[in-house]
Amino acid sequence: MIATADLPQVLVIDDEMGPRESLRMLLKPAYTVHTADSVEKGLELLTQKKPDAIVIDIRMPGTTGIEGLRKIRQIDPHLSVIMLTGFGALDTAKEALRLGANDYISKPFDAREMREVISRNVERTRIHRTTENAAGEIKELNHRLLEELAQKERLASLGQASAEFVHDIGNPLTIVWGYVQLLAKKLEDSEKNGESPKPPGSNKELEIIEQNVRLCRDLLTMWQSYGSGEAAPHRLISISEIVREVVRSVEGMARPVTLSCDVTGDPCQLMGEAVQVTRALQNVMINAIQASTENHGTVTVGCIRKDFYVDVRVVDTGHGIAPDKIAKIFDPYFTTKQGKSGTGLGLYITKKVIEDHNGSIKVESTPEVGTTFTIRLPLANN
Ligand SMILES: Nc1ncnc2c1ncn2[C@@H]1O[C@H](COP(=O)(O)OP(=O)(O)OP(=O)(O)O)[C@@H](O)[C@H]1O
Ligand SMILES: [Mg+2]
């Protein structure tokens, strides 16, 4: 047994009690029937009850059925409206259909035909409403998914950036660690030899420690401002100076590799970010040292000024790169140092930084002979 509340609802608008009540009796078992004796009362019931179909008499005193149809359409454009027409008034029925009625029934009506017409029109309204709801739900779902996607994208790029920054904080910290050890040994030796507690040269090492701690701090500041949309301002920086500083700072971790450098006296200035260029050069130099450690090789850093650009070359006599690997070395997470703390982000970051400075990075390598990285950066206009 279906509960009354679940039955489809039909609204009957007719000024004559006879047809109104006979419709109610006829439809009652299968529908919840509401009745009104005027268009005005019918419209009130329409907004209150939200019926699934309306049966409305065309000819009524006051507001006519045709006028009523127009008003119904304004309230609910998709609700099925069935016109009740007088016997033989086919022209009026046609006119109503042209104006947007969905069906018509001629008086006096046949009970079976009436039920059929009501049933198919109730069905039409319901299908329409279901489709409309589904469309609304799809739109809502789509909106939610787009929002979720945007959030995931933000998180993914933040995750990627975090991994890069964490990676680069490792380099200066390794350098600091190397120098702290060196310093500790020097102090120990000088104490053993009965020298003064501050041996000559220890100032330089302390300076490098300080520089690299500062780099850690700058990298962290960069991480904190990441995602704010504000790019760090580009300033006039000297590539020769940065190359000298990076060489000086990796010296401590170079042994047993012989590290040498030849840097032009020209400042080689360009507009850029010193922190970024520092991290890029550190990555290339540390890779060269790591590749040359096993065979106690050499790493030579050159900084040569050309007319409009500067070339920074890092040449090593290390193990080289296999031809089938060379195309992959700039890919994120490509590493041959598994188990040796390599993340494979170093060269990926470096390439990005160099390209952000409108430069290029090239590699040439022969296995068992060595590798040369050339970083070319355009200089600022004089
Ligand atoms: N100078 C080099 N000589 C030989 N192979 C190199 C040299 N530089 C880079 N490679 C190769 O390129 C790979 C990728 O280098 P990249 O700096 O991106 O990552 P990584 O050094 O492996 O890891 P991480 O930089 O995180 O410590 C290295 O694993 C190594 O195989
Ligand atoms: Mg590396």
333 lines ligand 1 (CB under 6 A): no
> Which of 109, 137, 170 finishes a domain?
109
Q: What is the mean pLDDT of residues 55-76?
A: 92
Q: What is the CATH number of the domain that holds 75?
A: 3.40.50.2300
Nearest protein Cα to ligand 1, atom 2: 288
Q: Identify the pLDDT of residue 382.
A: 59
Q: Which ligand is nearest to the CA of 170?
A: 1
Q: How far is the CA of 161 from the centre of ligand 1 (A)?
A: 19
Q: What is the mean pLDDT of residues 144-154?
A: 80
> Which of 67, 94, 109 finishes a domain?
109
Task: For CA atoms 165, 170, 172, 173, give the dihedral sign.
Answer: positive
Q: Is residue 19 part of a domain?
A: yes
Residue 203 has pLDDT above 80, yes or no: no
Q: Which ligand is nearest to the CA of 316?
A: 1
Q: What is the mean pLDDT of residues 258-283?
A: 96
Q: How far is the CA of 328 from the centre of ligand 1 (A)?
A: 10
CA distance 173 to 179: 10
Q: How far is the CA of 323 from the centre of ligand 1 (A)?
A: 14
Q: Is residue 332 part of a domain?
A: yes
Q: How far is the CA of 227 from the centre of ligand 1 (A)?
A: 28
Q: Is residue 61 part of a domain?
A: yes
257 lines ligand 1 (CB under 6 A): no
Q: How far is the CA of 28 from the centre of ligand 2 (A)?
A: 82
Q: Is residue 195 part of a domain?
A: no
pLDDT band at 2 (very low <50, low <70, confident <90, very high): very low
Residue 314 has pLDDT above 90, yes or no: yes
How many domains, in total, are found in the chain?
A: 2
Q: Which domain holds residue 350?
A: 231-382
Cα→Cα distances 30→10, 19, 23, 194, Å: 10, 18, 12, 110
Q: What is the mean pLDDT of residues 160-188?
A: 77
CA distance 367 to 353: 27
Range in 15-29, 89-103, 191-205, 314-328 with the lowest mean pLDDT: 191-205
CA distance 186 to 199: 7
Q: What is the CATH number of the domain that holds 354?
A: 3.30.565.10
In this structure, how many other beta carbons lie within 10 angstroms of the beta carbon of residue 351?
20
Among 174, 335, 343, name the best residue to mutate to test ligand 1's pocket (greatest count of ligand atoms within 8 A of Cβ). Answer: 335
342 lines ligand 1 (CB under 6 A): yes
In this structure, how many other beta carbons lie within 10 angstroms of the beta carbon of residue 301?
24
State which ligand 1 atom lies nearest to the alpha carbon of 347: 18
Contact assessment for residue 240 and residue 264, using Cβ atoms and an 8 Å cutoff: yes
Among 293, 343, 347, 375, name the best residue to mutate to test ligand 1's pocket (greatest count of ligand atoms within 8 A of Cβ). Answer: 347
Verify that 241 and 380 share a domain, yes or no.
yes
Q: Is residue 268 part of a domain?
A: yes
> Which of 109, 128, 144 finishes a domain?
109
Verify that 102 and 236 share a domain, yes or no.
no
Verify that 236 and 382 share a domain, yes or no.
yes
pLDDT band at 1 (very low <50, low <70, confident <90, very high): very low
